[in-house]
Structure 1
Amino acid sequence: MNEENSTIQAVVRSVDGDQALVEVEQGGCGRCHEKGGCGGQHLTQMFCSGPKTYRVDNLVAASVGERVTVAIAAGSVRRTANLAYGVPLLSMLVGAALGTQIGGDLGAVLGAGGGLVLSVIYVRFRSRDGSGNFTQRPHIISRS
């Protein structure tokens, strides 16, 4: 699958090894109105009034104060949101439904709790530092 990267301009605020803390000039990827855009810019404008800083991979060795272009694979924000929110919600609902069949209301509560615990373990396993494909994580692609 050959997906296009979304890019955004940022300024490097600090560097820690092969990662950097960058401050973006606008919220979201700037593709809010395009097909497949997540609307993240609208959310960040509603809920975040201060500077927006993010930790990104810095394999181009950008220095503090440099203007850079940060890229993230198209669709990775959606996939991450589905993992962080969708998996636990679905697990709770399935656990509650199964628990109801086995033990009524108490079974539903226990099933929902069990589904949530299992999903949190799964999500933590999938999102450990250093896991996943580099191209799916936010990373600096160039100095401006």
Structure 2
Amino acid sequence: MEARARILRIENGQAWVKLSGKQGGCGRCDEPGGCGSVQLSHAFGMPKDEFSMPVDTRFAVGDAVVIRIPDGAPLRAALASYGLGTLLLLVGAALGSLTGGAQHGDAWGLAGAVAGLALAWVINRVLPRSRSWRNSLSMELSVEEDCSRRLRVLQ
């Protein structure tokens, strides 16, 4: 996944970048047959188009850059954030219901669901401390001219 941006300012090793162009979706929103899913992302306000990210000395204010996110990284992050919580909630509720038996199944099911959510919360707090997890989700910043030069070499 790639997005074009421009560096607005650099402070304390962080570059503040502003995304350029229309962002999100597959790019077919305005075409016939496009699903218009980008409009769903704007339902609760416009998404932020300015944010900061780590930068090194190769970059300067005003540089046109390309931000790359590894393929599958957004899906892995969403599954860890939402999928893990949902799965552990359901497993906890099922195990609690089975443990509680016929008399106290609902109360034990509720306790199991809460325990599953608590476990998911702990895992989602510990997971970002893993260097391999962070590296699999990290964004890469490169100067846009370097990208076009690299494409010419490949052709």
Above 0.5 in TM-score? yes
**Matching of residues 28-107 of structure 1 within 5 Å:** 28=24, 41=38, 43-49=40-46, 51-59=48-56, 61-103=58-100, 104-107=105-108
Structure 1 gaps of 5+ residues are: 1-5, 34-38
Q: Is the 8 A contact 1:7 1:29 kept in 2?
A: no
Q: What is the percentage of aligned positions where both structures have the same residue?
A: 27
Moved over 6 A (4+): none
Computed over aligned residues only, the root mean square deviation of the Cα atoms, in angstroms, reads 3.0
Aligned partner (choices 23, 30, 52) of residue 27 of structure 1: 23
Q: Is the 8 A contact 2:41 2:47 kept in 1?
A: no
More strand, by proportion: 1
TM norm structure 2: 0.69
CA change 1:22–1:135 in 2 (3 A) is farther
**Paired position in structure 2 for 1:120:** 121
User: Structure 1 residue 129: deviation in Å?
Assistant: 8.3
Q: Distance in 1 between matches of 2:117 and 2:4?
A: 37
Instruction: Determine which structure has greater relative contact order: mean sequence separation of CA pairs < 8 Å that are 6+ residues apart, divided by chain length.
Output: 1
More helix, by proportion: 2
TM norm structure 1: 0.73
Q: State which structure, 1 or 2, has the greater radius of gyration over its C-alpha atoms.
A: 2
Q: Distance in 1 between matches of 2:71 and 2:6?
A: 21
Q: Distance in 2 between matches of 1:87 and 1:110?
A: 18
**Paired position in structure 2 for 1:36:** none
Structure 2 gaps of 5+ residues are: 30-35, 146-155
